[in-house]
Amino acid sequence: MAKVNGLEVNDIVKLVDDVKRNPVGFQSTFYANSSWKSGFNVIAETNKFKVGETTLKHKAFKVEGDHPKEFLGTDNGPSAVEITLSALGHCIAGGWGVNGAALGVPLESVRIGVEGDLDPQGMLGLPEPGKVRAGFQNIRVTHYVKSTAPKEKLEQVKQMAEDLSPVKDSLRAINYSSKLVIQ
């Protein structure tokens, strides 16, 4: 088996073929349970997901979140909006790995920088509820990539990593821009 970017290319091909043959059987549901501790301090836990009709368990993961002190938190973890930006970067970086492997594009390194603009007036209902958006107004992504592949191939992988990202798609109501920096 050929291994590219840490993934077995035949495994990618098999998964794609399996989903083509049985799309309903691969419909998935993911779960997270968040427990409030105090103030903005919350612990989220994941440990299962569903594929088709089968519920599967995986290692339990916990993510502790909070707010910085400037926003009434105790700084026990990243804020929910930072976790959202991290999830977007995580998803796009993983997309580089799998799409690069599928296209035979070797990667030495990929780092995804994500910035998001948020106006606190929105979450505080100021100057009146609904007047200012509570979520991000803009998200900017920068792809820092080191590879021997030609720029055209890297642009293709970048586009696939973004266009096929479930997290980016979930944030589609936001102004989004990105750029590729080849290192």
For 144-159, the pLDDT digits (tens) are 999 999 999 999 999 9
Mean pLDDT to the nearest integer, 82-108: 98
Assess whether pLDDT exceeds 80 at residue 69: yes
Q: What mean pLDDT do residues 84-89 have?
A: 98
Sign of dihedral through CA atoms 154, 155, 159, 162?
Answer: positive
Phi and psi for 35 in degrees, rounded to 5?
Answer: -115, 125
| Domain span including residue 139 | 79-182
Q: Considering the domain boundaries, does residue 47 fall inside one?
A: no
Domain membership of residue 83 (yes or no) is yes
Total domains, the chain: 1
Is 112 inside a domain boundary?
A: yes
Question: 1 in a domain, yes or no?
Answer: no
The 8-class DSSP code of residue 80 comes to H
For residue 175, the model assigns a pLDDT of 84
Q: What is the pLDDT of residue 1?
A: 65
